[in-house]
Amino acid sequence: MYPLAADQPYPRNQWWVAAYASELGRTLLARDILGEPVLFYRTENGDPVALAGICPHRAFPLKRGRLVGDAVQCGYHGFTFAADGHCQFVPSQKNVPQKSALRRYLIVERGNLLWIWTGQESLADPGLIPDMEAIGPGNPDWVVEQHPLATVDARYTLLIENLLDLSHVTFIHANTIPGGSKVVEIPVTLAETERSLTVQRNGQNLPLNPLIQMQFPHQKGPVHQQFDAEYLGPCLIRTGGAISDAASGTVLGIQNFLHMITPASPTRLHYFVNTARNFGLDNPALATMNLGMGTRIQPEDIDAIETIEAVLQSGATLPTEISARIDNGALKVRRRLEAQIFAETGCA
């Protein structure tokens, strides 16, 4: 499925962000994850639960049911399922049918995020969840703004490639990101590790713009600014980086934009965004500014990739795809994703 040379659209042996922690409570939450309806809630003790969201009796959505203690009762015929997924009660008979259990998904709560494992349970390792504290969330020396969840009508790979090529900032975000016109001119280098790939842009001697001046009121001269795009897996891309005084090289602060990406289906995705910074911790105006900018910037990215998705699904004859040098990072990520999927499916 474009742009991958793989029949399976996404890796399943993978942690994905299922929800913000604040979304889960004693009200049933339904969300499609990798084409599978999943039901979320918290037990009376506050533990998160993730179960298959369709009743196996007559395919009624369990979101239309209710909680009975820590169990879920189907709203159609009353089949009741424990928090571990096992059917524990059928009102019309004494025994429960064989093979009536719901799938229970492993779920881990880290900071303000709930991570779900969608693959083979024996392979689930919480150590594979990206180290969020290293880039902001959960770190007491940082402040984090949580942006509203957006569900987007586009395949998740389009958003990954959008974020890995920040030259689009100069065009898509021409009127929303101060100083964005310079981004396309900044040379690019790649840095790779076993678990990450970073498209690095180091802006040198950039003039102060209103955004930088608001973030660092005492800064008087030009700055160096990192415009990184770091792929930490199909679930997470970090953009942003350090901002330094150009004259001395002193780091003024680091701001990261954390893009959590979870496929809802082959052509639909959930998009969670956090902004994280290690400066201005007691300045609420910066939080207001970040959240306000997010309401303007995110819809521009969404419009771009939904427009491409519409073209891909239109049946139109497409030109042979070409790539520029700037696309090296995205092309390498395609190969990484394909290798991850092929490792699961045994195909290549």
- Residue 75: the pLDDT is 98
Structural domain range at position 79? 15-120
Query: Quick check: is 64 in a domain?
Result: yes
Verify that 226 and 246 share a domain, yes or no: yes
CATH code of the domain covering residue 97:
2.102.10.10
Verify that 194 and 313 share a domain, yes or no: yes
Verify that 103 and 136 share a domain, yes or no: no
Verify that 160 and 61 share a domain, yes or no: no
Query: Quick check: is 5 in a domain?
Result: no
The tokens of 18 are what?
């299922």
Mean pLDDT of 3-7: 93
Examine the pLDDT at 171 and tell me if it is beyond 90. no
- Residue 297: the pLDDT is 92
Examine the pLDDT at 179 and tell me if it is beyond 80. no
Examine the pLDDT at 348 and tell me if it is beyond 70. no
Number of domains in the chain: 2
Mean pLDDT of 194-199: 96
Mean pLDDT of 210-218: 93
Query: Quick check: is 1 in a domain?
Result: no
pLDDT tens figures, 51-92: 999 999 999 999 999 999 999 999 999 999 999 999 999 999
Q: How high is the mean pLDDT of the chain?
A: 95
Verify that 223 and 257 share a domain, yes or no: yes
Mean pLDDT of 227-234: 97
Nearest CA to 130 out of 230, 265, 277 is that of 230
Query: Quick check: is 34 in a domain?
Result: yes
Verify that 110 and 139 share a domain, yes or no: no
Examine the pLDDT at 177 and tell me if it is beyond 80. no
Query: Quick check: is 6 in a domain?
Result: no
Indicate the residue among 120, 154, 181 that finishes a domain: 120
Indicate the residue among 101, 120, 139 that finishes a domain: 120
- Residue 175: the pLDDT is 79
CATH code of the domain covering residue 171:
3.90.380.10
Verify that 64 and 145 share a domain, yes or no: no
Nearest CA to 83 out of 69, 66, 97 is that of 69
Residue 30 — very low, low, confident or very high, per pLDDT cuts 50/70/90? very high
Residue 181 — very low, low, confident or very high, per pLDDT cuts 50/70/90? confident
Verify that 337 and 216 share a domain, yes or no: yes
Residue 18 — very low, low, confident or very high, per pLDDT cuts 50/70/90? very high
Mean pLDDT of 165-185: 81
pLDDT tens figures, 288-346: 999 998 999 999 999 999 999 999 999 999 999 999 889 999 999 999 999 999 999 98
Strand partners, 237: 231, 259
> Around Cβ 272, how many Cβ atoms within 10 Å?
22
At residue 332, the 3 state secondary structure works out as helix
Indicate the residue among 57, 91, 120 that finishes a domain: 120
Verify that 316 and 171 share a domain, yes or no: yes
Mean pLDDT of 111-140: 96
Query: Quick check: is 3 in a domain?
Result: no
**CA separation for the pair 259, 143 (Å, rounded):** 16
- Residue 346: the pLDDT is 83
**CA separation for the pair 138, 132 (Å, rounded):** 7
Q: Are 65 and 51 in contact (CB under 8 A)?
A: no
The percent of residues in the chain predicted with pLDDT above 70, rounded, is 99
Verify that 205 and 255 share a domain, yes or no: yes
Verify that 111 and 157 share a domain, yes or no: no
Verify that 282 and 151 share a domain, yes or no: yes
Query: Quick check: is 2 in a domain?
Result: no
Concatenated DSSP letters for 166-193? Answer: GGGHHHHTTTTSTTGGGGGGS-EEEEE-
Measured between alpha carbons, how far is residue 348 from residues 7, 138, 194, 344 in Å?
Answer: 10, 39, 20, 10
Mean pLDDT of 216-242: 96
Cis peptide before 3 (omega within 30 of 0): yes
- When mean pLDDT is compared across 155-164, 244-253, 289-298, 305-314, the lowest value belongs to 289-298
Strands 71-73 and 143-146 turn out to be unpaired
Query: Quick check: is 251 in a domain?
Result: yes
Mean pLDDT of 199-221: 93
Mean pLDDT of 143-168: 96
- Residue 136: the pLDDT is 96
Q: Which residues contact 252 (CB under 8 A, 6 or more apart)?
A: 215, 216, 219, 223, 242, 243, 244, 245, 279
pLDDT tens figures, 96-113: 999 999 999 999 999 899
Residue 279 — very low, low, confident or very high, per pLDDT cuts 50/70/90? very high
